Amino acid sequence: MKKIQILGTGCSKCNQLGANARQAAEIAGIEYEIEKVTDIVEISKMGVISTPALVIDGNIVSTGKLLKPEKIKAFLV
């Protein structure tokens, strides 16, 4: 099961990234869980300095970018 985390303080980009990630996971047909991390301390602890950020199974996959579902799907499979 893939653990997908969306790091962001809550602006529209973060929400959109979450939606795109969900869509990507659905298309990929994998088992997943999505978590939104909005706590600043948590985000900093993960070493992220530009949001929104996408973390999959503990690996920072992208920071500061709003990825399209196709691009996210590539990271999931």
Partner 1 sequence: MFSIFTKLADFCVYYVFGLEQGTQLASSLHFFIEDVTKIYALLIVMIYSIGWLRASLDVERVREYLIGKPRIWGYLAGSAFGAITPFCSCSSIPLFLGFTQARIPLGITMAFLITSPIINEVAIVLLGSLLGIKFMLLYIGFGLLAGILGGMILDLLKAECYLTPLVQKVREAGVDGVSQDARVSLSVRDRHIFAKGELGSIFIRVWKWVLLGVGLGAVLHGYVPETYIVEHLGRGQWWSVPGAVLLGIPLYSNASGIIPVAESLLGKGLPVGTTLAFMLSTVAASFPEFMLLKQVMKPRLLLYFFLILVSMFTLIGWIMNMMNF
Catalytic residue among 7, 14, 17, 67: 14
Instruction: Identify the active-site residue in 11, 19, 40, 49.
Output: 11
Residues between 21 and 40 with contacts to partner 1, criterion CB under 8 A: 40
Q: Which residue has the tokens 């978590």?
A: 35
Size of the site for partner 1 (CB under 8 A): 28
> Of the two residues 23 and 29, which places its CB atom closer to partner 1 in the complex?
23
**Count of CB atoms situated within 10 Å of the CB of 58:** 8
45 in catalytic set: no
DSSP H helical segments within the chain, as ranges? 12-28, 40-45, 69-76
Q: Which residues pair with 3 in a beta bridge?
A: 33
What is the set of active-site residues?
11, 14
